[in-house]
Amino acid sequence: MMKQIILDTINENEAKFKDISIYIGENPELGHEEFKACEILTDTLKQHDFNVEIGICDLPTAFKATFDSGKAGPVIGFMAEYDALPELGHACGHNLIGTMGIAAGIGLSKVLSETGGKVIVYGTPAEETKGGKVTMAEAGIFEELDVAMMVHPLDSYMKSGDSLAMDAIQFEFFGKAAHAAASPHLGINALDAVLQTFNSINALRQHIKSDARIHGVITEGGKAANIVPDYAVAQFYVRAGKREEVNKLVEKVIQCAEGAALQTGATVKASFYEFSYDDMITNQTLSDLFTKQLVDLGVEPSEIQEQRDGSGSLDMGNVSQVVPSIHPYVKICNEAYACHTHEFREAAMSDQGRDAMILGAKSMALTGLEILTNKELLAKIKAEFLKNK
């Protein structure tokens, strides 16, 4: 009966949810500028009697929307993302993710009078850049949750898996300008220090673990070819399977830059130019429960893949360090379109993409229902979380 109430609620509001995803998709906003998306998502939650707080954790487009039954019980959290990519718009499908999060929360809220507990939908801005979940996790806002969930669009159904921990490190090199032809001996070449840093890091690659990644760009390399560059900047992402491995690797990368400065006579300043992401710890018990809902709703088990080799970094990883979490994927296109492409953006605006969004919302809501009504299951989820921590 409660399962049917959830499904009926999402079905009855399906047209509204799809319209919201179209609106967000047609009005892409970059991280921490998602005012239109935040407004339409929170207004919809208010219409379903959620208590909404906007601007939490000093993030103007972050929100927390709570539906409290007033009875004791588990606290279920759904994550909503809604930031776009520069120039590409919603080429990562966050217009679907944000709407999926509120749809799941609204559906599950309709049975809380029977189950007890709370449902909280978190609006988490700037996933693509400075990771709103990082700030929110550091503030302790997720610690009240028993579980946390979000679903990402992809070109296939995929179970929640791992992600790489990541630091974004910047090196500024300071040298001394001089005429590159008339008096090069008077200069200190900051660009040479950058190039030597890349060379040193390339040598370091022989001695890092297979899941580690170091990749970078030169963002400032001088102003004119006849002037010895007195200022140069390089930015790197340093990734590995676990946070502790990233910490060790970053130390070595910093030593590469310091050595380059010493060799060239330049000075160097290291800083982090984006927030650090922790590795994703998928709660397998929770993941299996979500997969079961997908299958019960009609997805063939053979269609649901294990995570592919290789992964990026997610600010959901920081949430997973605090509370049992999952980050699975639903299929929005039949072609092998990669995220962050024009083709994937169009898929995220398609009928198939919107249907997948509704499926993901239902699966998350029904996963939450299982947890609300099965104490033994929640105990198993928490025991696994403590073991993996």
Per-residue pLDDT band at 310 (split at 50, 70, 90): low
* Residue 130, pLDDT score: 82
Q: What is the pLDDT of residues 88-111, one digit of tens each?
A: 999 999 999 999 999 999 999 999
* Residue 386, pLDDT score: 96
Q: Is the pLDDT of residue 237 over 90?
A: yes
> How many contiguous H segments (helices) and E segments (strands) does the chain have?
13, 14
Per-residue pLDDT band at 308 (split at 50, 70, 90): confident
Q: Does the pTM of the predicted model rise above 0.85?
A: yes
The CATH number fitting domain 1-163+280-388, selected from 3.30.70.260, 3.40.50.300, 3.40.630.10, 3.30.420.40: 3.40.630.10
Do residues 197 and 171 touch, judged by C-beta distance below 8 A?
yes
* Residue 22, pLDDT score: 98
Percent of the chain residues topping a pLDDT of 90 = 95
Q: What is the pLDDT of residues 248-300, one digit of tens each?
A: 999 999 999 999 999 999 999 999 998 999 999 999 999 999 999 999 999 99
DSSP class of residue 340 equals S
Class of domain 165-277: alpha beta
Percent of the chain residues topping a pLDDT of 70 = 99
For residue 157, the SS3 value is strand
- The Cα 132–Cα 31 span in angstroms is 9
> Mean pLDDT over all residues of the chain?
96
Do residues 237 and 214 touch, judged by C-beta distance below 8 A?
yes
Do residues 31 and 125 touch, judged by C-beta distance below 8 A?
yes
Task: Give residue 212's identity as a one-letter amino acid code.
Answer: A
Contacts of 365 (CB under 8 A, 6+ apart): 6, 10, 103, 104, 105, 107, 108
Token readout for 62 is 């972050």
CATH 3.30.70.360 maps onto the chain at 165-277
Q: Is the pLDDT of residue 177 over 70?
A: yes
Question: Exposure string (b/e) for 279-297, b if CB count within 10 Å is 16 or more?
Answer: bbbbbbbbbebbbebbeee
- The Cα 119–Cα 50 span in angstroms is 9
Section 23-35 average pLDDT: 97
Contacts of 236 (CB under 8 A, 6+ apart): 168, 169, 170, 171, 201, 214, 215, 216, 253
Q: In what order do the strands lie in the sheet with 304-305?
A: 152-154, 329-331, 157-158, 304-305
- Torsional sign, CA 177, 227, 195, 235: positive
Per-residue pLDDT band at 309 (split at 50, 70, 90): low
* Residue 158, pLDDT score: 96
Nearest of 323, 181, 192 to residue 260 by alpha carbon:
192
CATH 3.40.630.10 maps onto the chain at 1-163+280-388
